[in-house]
Structure 1
Amino acid sequence: MTATIALVDDDRNILTSVSIALQAEGFVTRVYSDGEAALKALVDNPPDLAVLDVKMPKMDGLELLRRLREKSQIPVIFLTSKDDELDEALGLAMGADDYIAKPFSQRLLIARIRAILRRTEALAAPVGEEPAQEVQPVLERGPLTMDPARHKVTWKGDTVTLTVTEFMILETLAQRPGIVKTRNQLMDAAYQDDIYVDDRTIDSHIKRVRRKFRQVDPEFDAIETLYGAGYRFSDE
């Protein structure tokens, strides 16, 4: 079944170019130029996923997501200003599934959309019925539990909310505790389809993951940095 993606942005150029790129990948698209116009449509006729810009007139993306979450749990990706951690933190706290900083690669956006839709499909599969794609088993490493099918992470029983990218990076590290993963290896896991990103982007993701875990456990130190080599996960 063809997935429908809603795009909400006051930049007409972004709406047009991203819509064309998504349609070329087989998606159906709906476009909205402001949050007020989008809200009713997203509630009355929910798409499979929505991409929301944060900075918009009338109703910004954060307010749109807040009001949307009162009535719908459709997956949401935020488009944020570069390095705007406040927007990211607020959006994830209100229920966004991932965020991408502008300017962004359309290939990266499409990869993130596909990753979220795969996880949504697995989560929606009826109990006892296997989803269309093979689902990885729950991963347990010491106090860490990761459920890829449900995109759920807990540390010592407390939930830690990660974006899709952060989840993939942590999963790659936790699959082989004690083994050092280079930035390139982590990029390959998190950014598929030959998408190029600066390797320092991985450092930023690791920083955010650590911060999120330390919000539930100030003593969290399971992700170790090996300067000049990469990162490793310790379950000791």
Structure 2
Amino acid sequence: MSTSRPDAARPAPPAGAAAPTRVVVIEDEPTITSAIADRLTAEGWEVSTALDGVTGVETVLRVRPDVVVLDVMLPGIDGLEVCRRIQADSPVAVLMLTARDDETDMLIGLGVGADDYMTKPFSMRELVARLKVLLRRVRRAEPATPPPDAADAQVALQIGDLLIDRAGRRVMRAGVPAHLTPTEFDLLLCLASSPGTVLTREHLLADVWDWVDATGTRTVDSHVKALRRKLGSDLVRTVHGVGYALEIPEDPEDVDAPAPEA
């Protein structure tokens, strides 16, 4: 089942005005679905809903939303497979909902293309805040024509065998491309801006997630683990009780070849 809940009485935006945010909610609990849809509609967003995985994929492909709220446990196909399918078609921001506070599930979700996650039960106020932050990050990541004096900010960043293309938002490690979510890219870029320097979780939350409190430290930890899985376990160093630092990866060209045996 899929429903669209745009406000039919709301007039079209004036010429030049920003189009309303489109969101698809894929959740099999009708009560939760209605509560989320009502709250987001009250924010002025256009909301479409689906109660199972297959319909959810079809709805996303039809609506082309700005962001998707996706439950992990769904009938038909689960949320992880839904996320794989919609990201394979066209990348979209995804916030996953899970009933279990299981870090393994969270890491799997991040690995298939989710940008953020929340565990149930959750407050609607926090859900809206997290979605707005996620949308700001995604829109910040959209390609834009830089002003002439911003040329230096667009050049690729090379640190050892790690190449970060800031303008194209692409990453390579030892010549091998890595597919990062927008959040993972922003986290890597934040760490790479001060290689070798320990950045606290609070600093990373503020810079990458735009959060001003420390309630999301596990989010930082999970995204760091996702970076390690995609780019190598040696790339980010943990400083227990403090935060993380980007290790300067060794460039193979700088490694001296072993001397031949006599």
Report the TM-score range of the alignment, normalised by the length of the smaller protein. 0.7 to 0.9
Offset, 1:100? 0.7
Q: 2:40 aligned to 1, 7, 22, which one?
A: 22
Q: 1:55 aligned to 66, 73, 82, which one?
A: 73
User: Are the counterparts in 2 of residues 224 and 234 from structure 1 also a CA contact under 8 Å?
Assistant: yes
Residues 40 and 162 (structure 1), Cα distance of their counterparts in 2 relative to 1, 3 Å cut? closer
Residue 180, structure 1, aligned to residue 180, structure 2: no
User: Are the counterparts in 2 of residues 9 and 53 from structure 1 also a CA contact under 8 Å?
Assistant: yes
Q: 1:224 aligned to 218, 229, 237, which one?
A: 237
Residues 53 and 232 (structure 1), Cα distance of their counterparts in 2 relative to 1, 3 Å cut? same
The unaligned stretches of length 5 or more in structure 2 are 1-17, 250-262
Partner SS state of residue 43, structure 1: helix
User: Are the counterparts in 1 of residues 23 and 47 from structure 2 also a CA contact under 8 Å?
Assistant: yes
Q: How does 1:156-235 map to 2 (within 5 A)?
A: 156-194=174-212, 196-214=214-232, 221-235=234-248
Q: 2:158 aligned to 110, 131, 140, which one?
A: 140
User: Are the counterparts in 2 of residues 88 and 99 from structure 1 also a CA contact under 8 Å?
Assistant: no
C-alpha distance after superposition, 1:157-190 (max 9, x if no partner): 2122333333332221110122221222112123
Question: Which amino acid counterpart does residue 65 of structure 2 have in structure 1?
Answer: P
Residue 82, structure 1, aligned to residue 108, structure 2: no
Offset, 1:56? 0.8
Q: 2:117 aligned to 75, 84, 100, which one?
A: 100
Q: 1:193 & 1:91 partners in 2: Cα distance?
A: 19
In the other structure, the counterpart of 1:113 is 135
The unaligned stretches of length 5 or more in structure 1 are 215-219
User: Are the counterparts in 2 of residues 22 and 110 from structure 1 also a CA contact under 8 Å?
Assistant: no
Q: 2:230 & 2:87 partners in 1: Cα distance?
A: 22
Offset, 1:35? 2.2
Question: Which amino acid counterpart does residue 89 of structure 1 have in structure 2?
Answer: I
Q: 1:223 & 1:60 partners in 2: Cα distance?
A: 31
Q: Which has the larger radius of gyration?
A: 2
Residues 64 and 180 (structure 1), Cα distance of their counterparts in 2 relative to 1, 3 Å cut? closer
Residues 118 and 24 (structure 1), Cα distance of their counterparts in 2 relative to 1, 3 Å cut? farther
Q: 1:193 & 1:79 partners in 2: Cα distance?
A: 19
Question: Which amino acid counterpart does residue 63 of structure 1 have in structure 2?
Answer: E
In the other structure, the counterpart of 2:90 is 73
Q: 1:86 & 1:166 partners in 2: Cα distance?
A: 17
Partner SS state of residue 221, structure 1: coil
Sequence identity of aligned pairs in percent?
30
Q: 2:219 & 2:109 partners in 1: Cα distance?
A: 20
- Report how many aligned residue pairs link the two structures: 220
Cα RMSD (Å) of the superposition? 3.2
C-alpha distance after superposition, 1:105-157 (max 9, x if no partner): 312233123322432x32xx6xxx459xx895233322222234544222112
Q: 2:39 & 2:167 partners in 1: Cα distance?
A: 27
Residues 117 and 169 (structure 1), Cα distance of their counterparts in 2 relative to 1, 3 Å cut? same
Q: TM-score, normalised to structure 2's length?
A: 0.68
Q: 1:208 & 1:68 partners in 2: Cα distance?
A: 20
Residues 196 and 226 (structure 1), Cα distance of their counterparts in 2 relative to 1, 3 Å cut? closer
Q: TM-score, normalised to structure 1's length?
A: 0.75
Offset, 1:207? 3.0
User: Are the counterparts in 1 of residues 158 and 164 from structure 2 also a CA contact under 8 Å?
Assistant: yes
Q: 1:79 & 1:197 partners in 2: Cα distance?
A: 17
